[in-house]
């Protein structure tokens, strides 16, 4: 049943329910759905769902959110609206989602930044990623890519490292997420170079400045960088994951490029405010898993340099706890002081 037909049937079922009648062509399930209290978990979702994305439009998180939003809207028979609330390393959007009504109609599209790394990077976080959120499911994982402007003559990590060693403190990198910043700090620590950090509210503005030559390099989600790599505006030097990307088969991993043992990947997940009814959490999990099986989601994530990865709420809770410990170790190893 297409979404337009479903919406028509739901409207007819609601009218009939109000009159104590069953409309022609409406299934008993739809009639019961329409007659139920809209606030009841059994009626969920009975109105548009909002995805809060804590990073800017065109960021990796935003692109993944939009892939899922379209498919989840089809599965749920209701609209899904993407609401970008960027800033403060994802803190602004996460705070807004934590304070929303716990009814399942606000979903935070979270990342390893908001739900693992920020605990070690931000002194006054303003939200509790465990106590104030209920996990729904993992959505996917993605490798990052080290890039320089096309105008930079460096074609390998070793060549860029040599540039940085010859110009200590003069070269810069931009980052608008924990993954981006920590990945460069790891590179600096392992390569023994001094590259200055320039903070951004999100990665897309940093990419714009990188293309324009205002900063020297960055490491960011493949999803944000691929169009600019393919257009020739940026040059990819290495990927941060354990294997090469299908979309960039000629680009080595950081380990292959000489930084043995270097590995870092980002991930995306769905959370709702704490105290959201368990029945709604289960229904949302079902809807996300149904959306994840769509060819458009899988092909879309593949084009973005990522992979679909789903879970139960309990599995996400365990995964996030282990990731928080991992990112804490990584932040300490990179010698990043909380801000």
pLDDT above 70 (res 239): yes
Q: Please indicate, yes or no, whether residues 245 and 321 belong to a single structural domain of this protein.
A: no
Q: What tens digit of pLDDT does each residue of 63-88 get?
A: 999 999 999 999 999 999 999 999 98
User: Which of 265, 285, 317 corresponds to the end of one domain?
Assistant: 265
Does residue 314 lie in a domain region? yes
Does residue 247 lie in a domain region? yes
Please compute the mean of the pLDDT values over residues 116-139 and round it to a whole number: 95
Does residue 183 lie in a domain region? yes
Q: Please indicate, yes or no, whether residues 161 and 239 belong to a single structural domain of this protein.
A: yes
The reported pLDDT for the residue numbered 31 is 31
User: Which of 235, 265, 295 corresponds to the end of one domain?
Assistant: 265
Per-residue H/E/C for the chain: CCHHHHHHHHHHHHHHHHHCCCCCCCCHHHHHHHHCCCCCHHHCCCCCEEEEECCCCCCHHHHHHHHHHHHHHHHHCCCEEEEECCCHHHHHHHHHHHCCCCCCCEEEEEEHHHHHHHHHHCCCCCCCCCCCEEEEEEEEEEEEEEEEECCCCCCCHHHHHHHHHHCCCCEEEEECCHHHHHHHHHHHHHHCCCEEEEECCCHHHHHHHHHHCCCCEEEEEHHHHHHHHHCCCEEEEEECCCCCECCECCCCECCCCCCCCCCCEEEEEEEEECCCCHHHHHHHHHHHHHHHCCHHHHHHHHHCCEEECCCCHHHHHHHHHHHHHHHHHHHHHCCCCCC
The reported pLDDT for the residue numbered 291 is 97
pLDDT above 70 (res 34): no
Q: Please indicate, yes or no, whether residues 191 and 88 belong to a single structural domain of this protein.
A: no
Q: Please indicate, yes or no, whether residues 122 and 133 belong to a single structural domain of this protein.
A: yes
User: Which of 242, 265, 288 corresponds to the end of one domain?
Assistant: 265
Q: Which domain holds residue 18?
A: 1-35
Q: Give pTM, 2 decimals.
A: 0.78
- Provide the token pair at 313: 């709420």
* Choice between 5 and 134, residue whose per-residue pLDDT is larger: 134
Q: Please indicate, yes or no, whether residues 172 and 97 belong to a single structural domain of this protein.
A: no
Q: Please indicate, yes or no, whether residues 177 and 213 belong to a single structural domain of this protein.
A: yes
The reported pLDDT for the residue numbered 316 is 98
The reported pLDDT for the residue numbered 338 is 87
Q: Please indicate, yes or no, whether residues 258 and 168 belong to a single structural domain of this protein.
A: yes
If you average pLDDT over every residue of the chain, what do you get? 88
Does residue 241 lie in a domain region? yes
The reported pLDDT for the residue numbered 40 is 52
Report the CATH number that the domain containing residue 173 is assigned in CATH.
3.40.190.10
Q: Please indicate, yes or no, whether residues 297 and 237 belong to a single structural domain of this protein.
A: no
Domain count of the fold of the chain: 3
Q: What is d(CA 128, CA 250) in angstroms, rounded to the nearest whole number? A: 41
Q: Please indicate, yes or no, whether residues 261 and 149 belong to a single structural domain of this protein.
A: yes
Q: Please indicate, yes or no, whether residues 205 and 217 belong to a single structural domain of this protein.
A: yes
Does residue 338 lie in a domain region? no
Report the CATH number that the domain containing residue 287 is assigned in CATH.
3.40.190.150
Please compute the mean of the pLDDT values over residues 37-43 and round it to a whole number: 54
Please compute the mean of the pLDDT values over residues 145-161 and round it to a whole number: 98
């Amino acid at each position: 049943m297409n979404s337009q037909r479903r919406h028509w049937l739901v409207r007819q079922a609601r009218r009939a329910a109000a009159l104590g009648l069953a409309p022609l062509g409406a299934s008993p399930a739809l009639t019961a759905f329409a007659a139920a209290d809209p606030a009841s978990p059994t009626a969920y979702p009975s109105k548009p769902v909002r995805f809060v994305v804590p990073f800017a439009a065109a960021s990796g998180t935003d692109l993944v959110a939009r892939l899922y939003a379209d498919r989840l809207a089809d599965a749920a028979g209701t609209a899904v609206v993407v609401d970008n609330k960027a800033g403060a390393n994802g803190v602004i959007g996460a705070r807004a989602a934590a304070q929303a009504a716990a009814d399942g109609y606000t979903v935070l599209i979270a990342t390893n930044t908001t739900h693992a790394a920020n605990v070690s990077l931000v002194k006054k976080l303003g939200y509790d990623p465990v106590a104030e959120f209920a996990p729904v499911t993992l959505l996917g994982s993605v490798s990052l890519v080290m890039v320089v402007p096309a105008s930079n003559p460096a074609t390998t990590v070793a060549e860029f490292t040599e540039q940085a060693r010859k110009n200590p403190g003069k070269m810069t990198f931009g980052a608008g997420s924990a993954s981006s910043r920590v990945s460069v700090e790891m590179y600096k620590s392992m390569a023994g170079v001094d590259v200055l950090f320039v903070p951004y509210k999100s990665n897309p503005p940093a990419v714009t400045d990188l293309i324009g030559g205002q900063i020297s390099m960055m490491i960011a989600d493949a999803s944000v960088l691929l169009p600019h790599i393919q257009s020739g505006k940026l040059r990819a030097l290495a990927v941060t994951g354990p294997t090469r990307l299908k979309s960039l088969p000629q680009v080595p991993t950081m380990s292959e490029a000489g930084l043995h043992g270097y590995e870092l990947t980002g991930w995306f997940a769905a959370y709702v405010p704490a105290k959201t009814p368990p029945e709604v959490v289960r229904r949302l999990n079902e809807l996300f898993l149904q959306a994840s099986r769509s060819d458009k989601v899988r092909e879309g994530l593949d084009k973005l340099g990522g992979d679909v990865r789903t879970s139960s709420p309990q599995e996400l809770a365990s995964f996030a706890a282990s990731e928080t410990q991992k990112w804490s170790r990584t932040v300490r190893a990179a010698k990043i002081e909380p801000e």
